[in-house]
Chains A and B, each alone.
Chain A
Amino acid sequence: MELTFYIAAAVAVLSTVMVITRYNMIHALLYLVVSFLAVAVVFFTLGAPFMAALEVIIYAGAIVVLIIFVIMMLNMRQEDVQREKAWLQPSTWVGPAVLSAVLLAELVYIVVAADVATGGAVVAVDARLVGLALFGPYIIGVQLSGLLLTAGIVGAYHLGRQKKKVIHRFLQERSAAA
């Protein structure tokens, strides 16, 4: 398990360095996903498999997809066919693919070579204890998280709103008729 940790840590550091040195956002996001996956493997080796699942689902899934949507909405005037062709060069995807392959090899190693009794995972603190702590002593924190997420939704809607061009469709029809 220790060697797995070191390999995943090396992959995480390497892909994070690649994230902050890329010029192209989509390339950086590819490496960012690899970095989050490597940190998820680190969580797994540390004995927190539930947190590893949350890392993959929320960070590598939700947040990165949100950033990609915004990059698509920004419409950066770079989308010509030549550039699209250049993006599909092997130099774009070979780096993330190799690093992801290292992580996949680690996953296969963990599943195959680990003993059957523990299911392959070194579980230091399992999800049941986390849930008991979360809805026991930390219940006020959970409620505050709900408030924070509500504030985030309202704030994002308010800030991301475009300026209206027409006042109202009834008023527009009346002004057109008049």
Chain B
Amino acid sequence: MSTVSLEAALLLAGVLFMLGLVGVLIRRNIIFMLISVEIMLNAAGLAFIVAGTRWVQPDGQVMFIFILTMAAAEVSVGLALILQIYHQLKTLNSDAANIMKG
């Protein structure tokens, strides 16, 4: 059992998640939006780890491993999409991609 209080750790996870959400909302560069989504996923994993530590169960860490796997798959597909958008539109501004033409 660790000595760190549950509230402080959950507060850190919430602050990091809100920072990621603000990053998604205020940035128009697609790569920055992807990075902010990564920050949000990381904060969610932090919350799982905190809960797993609180109840001394391995389930939280198992969930973190699943989130890690999902983040890796998501970032690879997202970066491939960013490459295609940059080749098609010659910009990384997400407002330019408001028409989904196949």
Contacts and interface: CB of A to CB of B under 8 A. Distances in A.
Interface of B: 1-5, 8-9, 12, 15-16, 19-20, 22-23, 26-27, 29, 31-32, 34-36, 38-39, 42, 46, 49-50, 52-53, 56-62, 64-66, 68-77, 79-84, 86-87, 92
Interface of A: 1-2, 5-6, 9, 12-13, 16-17, 19-20, 25, 28-29, 32, 35-36, 39, 42-43, 45-48, 50-51, 54-55, 58-59, 62-63, 66-67, 70-71, 73-74, 122, 124-125, 129-130, 132-134, 138, 141, 145, 148-149, 151-153, 155-160, 162
Contact of B31 (A1, A2, A25, A39): A25
B58 A130 contact: yes
The binding surface of chain A is classed by DSSP as helix
A25 B57 contact: no
B12 A13 contact: yes
A50 B5 CA distance: 20
A46 B81 contact: no
A106 to B, nearest CB: 14
Contacts of B73: 148-149, 151-152
A2 B68 CA distance: 26
A148 B72 CA distance: 10
A134 B65 contact: yes
Contact of B12 (A12, A25, A129, A133): A12
The binding surface of chain B is classed by DSSP as helix
B53 A25 contact: no
A9 B19 CA distance: 13
20 contacts: A2-B4, A5-B9, A16-B39, A19-B23, A20-B22, A25-B32, A36-B42, A45-B2, A48-B52, A58-B68, A67-B35, A67-B75, A125-B53, A133-B58, A134-B62, A141-B62, A149-B72, A151-B73, A156-B79, A157-B80
Contacts of A58: 68, 71-72
